[in-house]
């Protein structure tokens, strides 16, 4: 179903599944109760020879091992380190000529085309000051190992929530026309825009509803998934305390992604976050509890679907489908034998919500997925 947009006075259309939400209370104030700035994640680029694909796996393993060791050495609280993509165009702005020459020397007399391996380091609510102090020596060491910083996220959490339509209107009123048109990918609860001045053109700004993001976000390499367990069982006590602090009002995250191989000073990052906060100080916001948001979604879940493919031992369960992003939310397991399927179905069943269940071969299973999702 398509999302229905409502007048501002009726509250935001939280459910991208369908319209008609319960009205929220509009507050005549701005985002409030900002947390201290912290570093959420960063992406490193490492060089690799695209003409030597048989050694790419070894190169990825080497880079990840070096990153783990440096995070340990400099006490950078790392949650995960994952390879996210590879590419063949390294551009001009990341790797210096000295780095490229040093890398080329290792392949003297061999065919060489330089590509990149992108590796994401997710941090555990790491304070920005701690991250900057640790990364300064780390990046110097990594340059000697053919790795550079590609981008880094600095964030602050705050009270109250908004929606994409209102943020876009607010940005236009402030003569900002660089909104990223990615609604079909991120939905109605996240808005991003690029900086336009000389000192901000390499910054992507983002404001999003953190509660909805937890419900909807899958892990990096999952085609089906959500992180609802993070609402009640996250092992980061600082984040859980912040999440609970805003449970009756809603929580948003202001996130700035800085692209480029140079690490800014702590004051530099703080100044850019302060500018973004000032820009959003007159953006319309809503006072909306997690309970209200959850009830709206639950009310529109009429049934679930589950598929088991015995030949591949794959079990997939879906509890909702987003009509804006076309993403499916649920869980997927591998190595699930037939005897464990009834237990999974029991764990994910509800008295008033039927599960459409199919156990079949790969071809039929895909057909069922297309029909139900």
217 and 335: one domain? Answer: no
Specify which residues 123 forms β-bridges with: 78
In this structure, what CATH number is given to the domain that contains residue 46?
A: 3.30.70
Number of compact structural domains in the chain: 3
Q: What CATH number is given to the structural domain containing 311? A: 3.30.420
- 109, 197: one domain: no
pTM here is 0.83
Looking at residue 10, the DSSP 8-state letter turns out to be: G
Residue 5 lies in a domain: no
Alpha-carbon gap, residue 224 to 219, rounded angstroms: 9
Element (H, E) at 206: strand 203-209
What per-residue confidence (pLDDT) applies to 240?
Answer: 84
* pLDDT tens for each residue of 241-253: 888 899 999 999 9
Average pLDDT, the chain: 85
**Statement to judge: residues 200 and 103 lie in one domain:** no
Q: Are residues 88 and 231 in the same domain?
A: no
Could you tell me if residue 13 is inside a domain? Answer: no
* Residues 143 and 182 placed together within one structural domain of the fold: no
Strand pairing of 203-209 and 147-159? unpaired
* Residue 27 vs residue 47, higher pLDDT: 47
Nearest 5°: phi and psi at 232?
Answer: -130, -15
Which residues, including other chains, have CB under 8 Å from residue 142's CB and lie 6 or more apart?
44, 66, 67, 70, 148
pLDDT value of residue 368: 42
10: in domain = no
In a domain, residue 7? The reply is: no
Question: 137 and 273 share a domain?
Answer: no
Pairing label, strands 355-359, 304-309: parallel
Note whether residue 19 is domain-resident.
no
Q: What is the mean pLDDT of residues 73-85?
A: 95
Is the pLDDT at 164 greater than 60? The verdict is: yes
Residue 100: per-residue pLDDT: 96
Strand, helix or coil at 235? Answer: coil
Beta bridge mates, 179: 193
Summarize pLDDT for 192-236 with one digit per residue, the tens: 999 999 999 999 999 999 988 877 765 434 555 566 656 655 667
Is 39 or 4 the better-scoring residue by pLDDT? 39
- What confidence category does residue 168 fall into, taking pLDDT thresholds of 50, 70 and 90? very high
258 bridge partner residues:
152, 203
Q: Report the candidate in 247, 254, 249 with the shortest Cα–Cα distance to residue 286.
A: 249
State yes or no: pLDDT of 23 exceeds 60: no
Confidence of residue 20 (pLDDT cuts 50, 70, 90): very low
The two structure tokens encoding residue 42: 């960063």
Q: Give the three-class secondary structure for 100.
A: helix
Domain final residue, candidates 103, 135, 153? 153
Residue in the block written with tokens 């259309």: 13
- Which one is predicted more confidently, 273 or 243? 273
Residues 238 and 134 in one domain: no
Query: Residue 17 domain-assigned?
Result: no
What pLDDT score was predicted for residue 227? Answer: 61
- Based on the domain organization, do 32 and 166 belong to the same domain? yes
What does the block give as tokens for 22?
């319960």
pLDDT digits (tens, 9 = 90+) for 302-361: 888 899 999 899 998 888 777 777 777 888 888 999 899 998 888 888 778 888 888 876
Predicted pLDDT at 21: 43
Place of tokens 């053109």: 201
Examine the pLDDT at 288 and tell me if it is beyond 50.
Answer: yes
Percent of residues, the chain, with pLDDT higher than 70 = 84
Domain boundary among 153, 178, 204: 153
Reported confidence tier of residue 117, pLDDT bands at 50, 70, 90: very high
pLDDT recorded at residue 6: 30
**Does residue 53 have a pLDDT over 90?**
no
Q: Report the alpha-carbon distance of residue 290 to residue 295 in Å, rounded.
A: 9
For residues 79-104, b (16+ Cβ closer than 10 Å) or e, as one string?
A: eebebeebeeebeeebbeeebeeebe
Position 275 pLDDT exceeds 80: yes
Is residue 205 domain-shared with residue 66, that is, in the same domain?
no
Q: Please, which residues bridge with residue 191 across strands?
A: 207
- Domain boundary (260, 293, 326) is at 293
Q: What is the pLDDT of residue 350?
A: 79
Per-residue pLDDT band at 95 (split at 50, 70, 90): very high
pLDDT for 169 beyond 80:
yes
Of 293 and 45, the structure prediction assigns the larger pLDDT to 45
What does the pLDDT read at residue 298? 80
| Residue 93 included in any domain | yes
Q: What are phi and psi of 135, to 5 degrees?
A: -75, -25
pLDDT of residue 18: 36
Q: What element of type H or E holds 126? A: strand 114-127
Q: Is residue 114 part of a domain?
A: yes
In terms of pLDDT, which residue wins out, 372 or 289? 289
Comparison of pLDDT for 135 and 293, the residue scoring more? 135
Which residue range(s) make up the domain with 140?
40-153
The answer on 342 and 254 residing in a single domain is no
Which pLDDT does position 141 carry in this prediction? 97
Same domain, 189 and 336: no
Chain-centre distance for alpha carbon 216: 10
Q: Domain check: are 50 and 147 in the same one?
A: yes
């Amino acid at each position: 179903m398509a999302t229905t947009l409502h007048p501002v006075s009726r509250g935001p259309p939280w459910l991208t599944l369908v319209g008609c939400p319960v009205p929220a209370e509009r507050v005549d104030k701005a985002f409030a109760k900002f947390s201290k700035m912290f570093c959420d994640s960063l992406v490193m680029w490492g060089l690799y020879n695209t003409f030597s694909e048989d050694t790419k796996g070894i190169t990825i393993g080497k880079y990840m091992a070096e990153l783990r060791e440096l995070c340990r050495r400099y006490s950078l609280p790392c949650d995960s380190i994952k390879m996210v993509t590879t590419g063949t165009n390294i551009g001009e702005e990341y790797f210096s000529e000295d780095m490229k020459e040093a890398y080329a020397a290792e392949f003297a007399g061999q065919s060489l085309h330089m590509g990149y391996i992108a590796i994401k380091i997710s941090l555990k609510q790491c304070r920005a000051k701690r991250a900057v102090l640790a990364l300064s020596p780390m990046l110097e060491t990594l340059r000697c190992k053919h790795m550079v910083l590609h981008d880094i996220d600095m964030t602050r959490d705050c009270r109250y929530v908004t929606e994409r339509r209102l943020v876009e209107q607010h940005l236009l009123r402030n003569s900002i026309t660089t909104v990223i048109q990615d609604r079909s990918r991120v939905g109605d609860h996240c808005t991003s825009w690029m900086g336009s001045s000389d000192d901000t053109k390499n910054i992507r700004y983002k404001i999003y509803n953190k509660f909805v993001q937890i419900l909807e976000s899958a892990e990096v390499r999952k085609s089906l998934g959500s992180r609802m367990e993070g609402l009640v069982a996250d092992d980061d006590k600082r984040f859980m305390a912040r999440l609970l602090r805003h449970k009756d009002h809603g929580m948003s995250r202001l996130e700035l992604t800085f692209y480029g191989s140079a690490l800014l000073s702590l004051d530099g990052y703080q100044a850019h976050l302060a500018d973004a906060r000032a820009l959003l100080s007159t953006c319309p916001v809503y006072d909306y509890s997690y309970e209200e948001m959850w009830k709206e979604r639950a009310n529109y879940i009429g049934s679930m679907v589950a598929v088991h493919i015995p030949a591949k031992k794959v079990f997939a369960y879906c509890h909702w489908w987003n009509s804006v992003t076309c993403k499916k939310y649920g869980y997927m397991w591998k190595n699930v034998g037939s005897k464990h399927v009834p237990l999974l179905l029991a764990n994910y069943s509800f008295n008033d919500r039927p599960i459409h269940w199919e156990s079949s071969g790969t071809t039929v299973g895909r057909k069922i997925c297309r029909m139900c999702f």
